[in-house]
Amino acid sequence: MATKIILTVDDGLSGQEVRDLTYLFTDALQDFAVRRTPVRDYVRGRYPDQVNDMTKTGKIAHVERRIDLARKLHNAALGHSVYEDPQ
């Protein structure tokens, strides 16, 4: 089942901004995922003071879920469509 995500920009976007939106989203989502892999190294470096393994294990799972989501959204962002409200 598809999920739609709608962003409303009050001031509207120019044609160039709409075209740039694809690259903005895809670059940001890809950078997000790349900068957090390998996950264990990212968690160890980002949260060095967490000595409890259970907390660290939970954080690893959390980061992995967010990376997976970023990858799903990356693919969707490549084919985004634009709807302009006629009002």
- H helices present in 1-87, as ranges: 15-35, 39-46, 53-78
The rounded distance, in Å, linking the Cα atoms of 37 and 71 is 12
pLDDT recorded at residue 9: 86
pLDDT at 54: 57
Per-residue pLDDT of the chain (87 residues; tens, 9 = 90+): 888 888 888 888 898 998 898 899 999 999 999 999 999 899 888 888 776 665 667 888 999 999 999 999 998 888 877 776 666
Looking at residue 49, its pLDDT comes to: 77
- Quote the tokens at residue 54: 């259970």
DSSP 29: H
pTM of the model: 0.80
- Residues 82, 87: Cα–Cα separation, whole Å: 15
Can you give the pLDDT at residue 12? 82
Q: What is the pLDDT of residue 81?
A: 73
Domain ranges of the chain: 15-78
Residue where the block lists tokens 């995922």: 33
Tokens representing residue 87 in the block: 């009002």
